[in-house]
A and B are shown apart, each in its own frame.
Chain A
């Protein structure tokens, strides 16, 4: 990449990141500047100590106690101030970086919460999680070393001034070496990062290959392929080793050079300095402190390289976050619902297609009167779930309209999604729900099992509800909808994981408890279908029949065949 462009990008990034965090950043930089000033000052103290304390004592035999106390007192004081500078710099650098990270994460989280379902469906889950979780941290990685790096600039400047003031020829020589060392550091960091990045990629590949191989262990074993698999993985592990060896080779050379070069410079300074001392232009203390200061500069100079190596990660993370935040919040499909005066659901000429592909629904019209229980029946891909999602207002129709009651509809999804938290958290989802409403809903959903859990309603259920069976999860999801006393309840095959007896009880409970609630349920079990008032039979996105189950069995041959296929191939419950 073009160097100027890179720097422009970097400064844009840093300005954007620091917009709301200037104060802490300035404090951190001040700490770094104090550190830099004390470093140079400590070199001056070393000169003072050699010329006014050590040399007199060892040449003339005595030195004033007052001088010794002054010099050492200053040395100790400088040590404390310099240490304080470091503490301030590191603490406030952390506050800056984490403050910005928190702000970025919050923006991303809010955006995720604001974007409606159709937007979420177009994203890859893993990609979104990375953006919200990892990229915010990556964007701010550069902020950690940045105050130190700016302190290094001060350090280089002050050192140069002091070196030049002390002795111009020798100072020029020493200052001339700084750019060389910086270039060496930066060049090394760039090259070694390339190896580290490729090693990181290889490690990623190895991890997924190992995952795959161990996950497929039954297949591996049943074909006696243990040794072949080991060889396959060994090849990938070999590539990781080669990438790492490349880094090792480069690193061993450069690390040695980064130690060796300053040492050689020091020798040169000493030899050249001997001439200056002989001509009386310089004291021994001045020459020694030259070397002392030069030694102190070696590590800080490396920091420039470290900071630059964080930049690409931060730029990449920032770019990904920006592209997410730059997408405008889409219109919530719930606004497409018309509000009716009764508790029924009225669907008129409904069309739906994802991204102008094949239409999933092609003109569905249905009148579902208040309080009825309707089973939506159809083969896989007939549009049952889409119809439910349109009634729930989580997606918007491409044409046609859905009228629902003022209070809307509550949907229970096919997959019961549980959040990490207690059973109660999962039922109320943070809303205020009176305890007797929870109790009633649990009874209707046949979810009394929650009281047998170790802490009852306060039992923590793990990430995504691990620890509950599919049937238990479904009943909990149903409870979640029921506590909201819905006017319309939409069930998307939500009793599929229950055994037939429990399912029958749940449906009977629903019918008894929800006399005024309209229920629209996707169903594929004949026993479930039979419990509905009416059946809405869908074929390829169209309503083919709407009526009593028995009538449809008698009059619609395709419907009868479908039900018979269900009977034939349903799984048993074990």
Chain B
């Protein structure tokens, strides 16, 4: 688990969960009442059998068919009402829980999108997706099966126990006492079962991993003639998987039969007790028979309950994780009294900024940025360079307010970013991320993502403005070309081109450009450079540079090293200075020239 682990008890979690998804509470008492009425349908037959035997089939005056018919009619009416009530209760629970889960999902979407970029680190991304999908899904599964079982079987057991006590409390107590150990037996079986299935599932994951290696690594395995050897290994793991699933299945095979065994003992005990008490205690033959039916009815749901209990635990754990996400404070907060950004070109000031990623668990994360101070006048083109981990990408993100610094301020146009409304900032400042992300759909749809209200002509003229119409002409459907999942149909360079056009639509005053590391073909490279130059001109531009050819072209170069700003000057100055930058430059020159 990557978010702060909430250590709430099950009851607290459920309480908070209901508050987070208030739809659950609506009309719950009515649903419960209807379920109770529905459960009545399941005790009708035992009561009917008892009544029929005592009053219609074995009275002293012979068989009274009319009485049995009358009883049958009453029973039929009760069944009809109970069936309707059960249907309504099940439907209400289902509808409320679906609405609650929908509400919870939407809350999670909104909350997660508003989290700081610091909470969206690579290693957390998977966890966040899992919260919204698989964890909410454990809740959905719970409501579909476990929650329903609680509602139907819970009310049934209560009702059956009540009827049994009403018939003959001595017999009822005998039945409860004899059946009680079943709960312990089932719990033990269940515990072994959960462990066995966990083991089986992890074996299964291992098989899946190894299979995907055989597929994804086919070329390597073939090239080294390791295919057959590796196949043997996968088959061994697959055999282990079968063994562990068979083991888990064998344990599970004891769940239902233990109910069966306890059932015959309980019925026997009830019969013996009833026979001993005899007719003098007021007990009748019909009541005895009815009681046997009731005993089976009472035991039926117990085996199911143990499975439900396990599912409930899973659901509570899922809910806890979901609530844990909702507890993470949302990212850069909106200012209470926003200040508007001045019109015209904007300067950027970074004032004594420190930054460290939120700590996870015990170890303190080392600071990513330490006491960074820099003033970038309006319209200046700045390149930020440094090795991987120097903090240059983070600096770009702080300037774009994708996260707030741990200490210090970032000012744009003289206004602290914490005082600028998000809407205002996004109109004036735009980021082009390192690996430009495209959504599945057409190029036009991806461009409109920046400004949904624009028209097609705006998109076309933006392409022309960046001198990219020759590129667009090479695409099969122009702006309507599908980019594929995550833009996979396009080359890395083309994705960057789309991202540049997308950024240009906003017409920002400040541009934060995280340069891509992936290499592109020569022609796209030329187009990118051209488009970039057009896009940057007249704007304050902060380029996070991975190629020293970019920094060589910039007005000014900032060099970061382990989170500190170590050098600041023009390319020529810094090369001559003989410091970090000149060493980086020498290495780059050596790498790119022969001999």
Interface residue ranges, A against B (CB under 8 Å): 46, 49-50, 53-55, 57-59, 61, 63, 68, 72, 75-76, 78-80, 82-84, 86-87, 89-91, 93-95, 98-99, 101-102, 105-106, 109-110, 112-117, 120, 123, 125, 128-129, 132-133, 203, 206-208, 210-230, 233-234, 237-238, 240-241, 244-245, 248-249, 251-253, 255-257, 259-260, 263-264, 266-268, 270-271, 274-275, 277-278, 284, 287-288, 291-292, 295, 379-381, 392, 394, 410-411, 413, 417, 419-420, 429-431, 463-464, 480, 484, 499-501, 525-527, 529-530, 549, 553, 563, 565-574
Is the CB–CB distance between B437 and A90 below 8 Å? Answer: no
Total B residues in contact with A, Cβ cutoff 8 Å = 161
Q: Which of A112, A224, A417, A420 contacts B422 (CB 8 A)?
A: A224
Taking the nearest CB of chain B, how far is it from the CB of A158, in angstroms? 18
Closest to B591 in A: A500
Would you call B254 and A87 a contact (CB within 8 A)?
yes
- Residues in chain A near residue B112, CB distance under 8 A: 214
Contact bitstring B525-561, A, C-beta under 8 A = 1, else 0: 1000000000000000000001111000000000000
A-B contact count (CB 8 A): 437
Q: A79-B261, A216-B437, A267-B48 are in contact. Are A570 and B592 (CB under 8 A)?
A: yes
Measured CA separation A270–B63 after assembly (Å): 13
Contact digits for B117-141, partner A, Cβ 8 Å, 1 yes 0 no: 1001000010011001100010010
Which of B232-240, B309-317, B340-348, B364-372 faces chain A? B232-240
Query: Does B592 contact A568, Cβ atoms closer than 8 Å?
Result: yes
A226-B113 in contact (CB<8A):
yes
How far apart are B512's CB and chain A's nearest CB, in angstroms?
Answer: 8
Q: Does B102 sit at the interface, judged by CB under 8 A? A: yes
B413 within 8 A of A: no
Contacts A75-B264, A113-B228, A417-B219: A212 and B426 contacting too (C-beta < 8 A)? Answer: no
In Å, the complex CA distance between A423 and B549 comes to 37
**A203 partner residues in chain B, CB cutoff 8 A:** 133, 137
**Max chain A Cβ within 10 angstroms of own Cβ: one of B109, B209, B267, B549:** B109
Between-chain CB contacts (< 8 Å), 8 pairs: A83-B260, A98-B249, A125-B216, A203-B133, A212-B439, A228-B452, A256-B83, A573-B587
Q: How far is the CA of A95 from the CA of B378 in the complex (A)?
A: 74
Known: A82-B257, A106-B235, A480-B224. 10 other contacts (CB 8 A): A68-B271, A86-B256, A101-B242, A132-B214, A203-B137, A419-B230, A525-B591, A569-B547, A574-B387, A574-B390
Q: A113-B228, A237-B105, A259-B41 are in contact. Are A569 and B217 (CB under 8 A)?
A: no
**B594 CB to nearest chain A CB (Å):** 4
- Complex Cα distance, B517 from A220, in Å, reads 21
Main DSSP-derived SS at the A contact region = helix
- A429-B56 contact, Cβ under 8 Å, with A241-B99, A574-B546: no
- Contact residues in B for A295 (Cβ distance below 8 Å): 45, 293, 296
- Chain B residue numbers with a CB within 8 Å of A571 are 517, 519, 546-547
Please give me the residue from chain A that is nearest to B88 by CB atom.
A252
CB neighbours (8 Å) of A525 from chain B are: 591-592
Is B250 an interface position by the 8 A CB rule? yes
Could you say which of B56, B219, B230, B594 contacts A117, with CB atoms under 8 Å apart? Answer: B219
> Whose C-beta in chain B lies nearest to the C-beta of A204?
B133
Residues of B within 8 A of A480 (CB): 224
Q: Is B278 in contact with chain A by the CB < 8 A criterion? A: yes
User: Which residues of B lie under 8 Å from residue A214 when comparing CB positions?
Assistant: 112, 120, 125, 128-129
Contact A573 B264 (CB under 8 A): no
Q: Give the CA-CA distance A529 to B594 in the complex, in Å.
A: 7
Cβ of B45 and Cβ of A291 under 8 Å apart?
A: yes
Complex formed: what's the CA distance from A226 to B388 in Å?
29
* Shortest Cβ distance from residue B29 to the other chain A in the assembled complex, whole angstroms: 19
Residues of B with C-beta under 8 A to A206: 133
Is B207 within 8 A of A419, CB to CB? no
B contact residues around A574 at 8 Å (CB): 385-388, 390, 546, 584
Q: Which residues of B contact A54 (CB under 8 A)?
A: 271, 274-275, 285, 288-289
Given the known interface contacts A109-B234, A288-B49, the answer about A260 and B101 at a Cβ–Cβ threshold of 8 Å is: no
**What residues of chain A lie closer than 8 Å to B120, measured between beta carbons?**
214, 217-218
Q: Which residues of A contact B166 (CB under 8 A)?
A: none
Residues of chain B within 8 A of A251, CB atoms compared: 90, 94
- The segment out of B6-14, B72-80, B462-470, B569-577 that lies at the interface is B72-80
Tell me which residues across on chain A come within 8 A of B110, comparing CB atoms.
Answer: 226-227, 230
Known: A58-B284, A230-B110. A79 touches B53 (CB 8 A): no
Shortest Cβ gap from B592 to chain A (Å): 4
Taking the complex as formed, is B593 at the interface, i.e. its CB lies under 8 A from any CB of chain A? yes
A264→B235 contact, CB < 8 A? no
B95 within 8 A of A: yes
Once the chains bind, are B62 and A278 in contact (CB under 8 Å)?
A: yes
The residues of B that contact A566 with a CB separation of less than 8 Å are 592
A307 to B78, CA, bound (A): 33
Query: B215 an interface residue at 8 Å Cβ cutoff?
Result: yes
Supposing A221-B402, A413-B223, A429-B229 touch, asked if A207 and B133 sit within 8 A by C-beta, the answer is: yes
C-alpha gap A563/B76 in the complex (Å): 92
A82 and B83 contact, CB distance less than 8 A: no
Residue in B75, B271, B385, B547 whose CB lies within 8 Å of A267: B75
Quote the shortest CB–CB distance from A151 to chain B (angstroms).
Answer: 13
| B431–A133 CB distance below 8 A | no
Instruction: Let me know if B91 is at the binding interface, CB within 8 A.
Output: yes
Q: CA of A248 to CA of B256 in the docked complex: distance in angstroms? A: 27
**B410 contacts chain A at the CB level, 8 A cutoff:** no
Residues 580-595 of B at the A interface (beta carbon under 8 Å): 584, 587-588, 590-595
Identify the 6 closest CB pairs spanning chains A and B, nearest first.
A79-B264, A248-B94, A94-B249, A224-B426, A83-B257, A90-B253
Of B52, B219, B261, B427, which contacts A120 at CB under 8 A? B219
Residues of B within 8 A of A216 (CB): 437-439
Q: Is the CB of A565 within 8 A of B522?
A: yes
The B464-485 residues at the A interface (CB cut-off 8 A) are 485
Q: Which of A68, A110, A224, A501 contacts B272 (CB 8 A)?
A: A68
| B278: nearest chain-A partner, CB-CB | A57
- A137 CB to closest chain B CB, in angstroms? 8
The docked-state distance in angstroms from the alpha carbon of A115 to that of B234 is: 16
Establish whether residues B230 and A106, one from each chain, have CB atoms under 8 Å apart when the complex forms: no
Q: Give chain B residues whose Cβ lies under 8 Å from the Cβ of A79.
A: 260-261, 263-265
CB nearest to B217 among chain A residues: A417
Do B279 and A58 touch across chains, with their CB atoms under 8 A apart? yes
Closest to B424 in A: A224
Contact of A526 among B242, B289, B293, B593 (CB under 8 A): B593
Most chain A CB atoms below 10 A, which of B101, B209, B212, B385: B212
Instruction: Kindly state the separation between the CA atoms of A76 and B288 in the bound complex, as whole angstroms.
Output: 18
Bound Cα distance A91, B252 (Å): 9
Interface residues of B in 492-533 (CB under 8 A from A): 506, 517, 519, 521-522, 525
- Given A109-B211, A226-B110, A271-B69, CB of A527 within 8 Å of CB of B590: yes
User: Judging by beta carbons under 8 Å apart, are A215 and B69 in contact?
Assistant: no
Are A277 and B63 interface neighbours, CB within 8 A?
yes
Expressed in whole angstroms, the Cα–Cα distance for A290 and B131 within the complex equals 51
Residues of A within 8 A of B238 (CB): 102, 105-106, 109
Check if A255 sits within 8 Å of B450, measured CB to CB: no
Residue of B nearest to A107 (CB): B235
Which of A57, A86, A274, A572 is in CB contact (< 8 Å) with B63?
A274
A263 and B260: CB pair below 8 A?
no
Greatest chain B CB density within 10 A among A120, A295, A381 is at A120
Q: B486–A212 contact, CB under 8 A?
A: yes
Residues from chain B with a CB closer than 8 A to the CB of A132 are 211, 214-215
Known: A274-B69, A529-B594. A226 touches B83 (CB 8 A): no
Flag whether B449 is at the interface (Cβ < 8 A).
Answer: yes
Across the interface, do A63 and B275 meet the contact criterion of CB distance under 8 Å?
yes
Q: Is the CB of B129 within 8 A of A275?
A: no
Complex Cα spacing A68 to B275, Å: 9
- B196-222 contacts to A, CB under 8 A, are 207-222
Cα–Cα, bound, A301→B260 (Å): 19
* B114: Cβ under 8 A from any A Cβ: yes
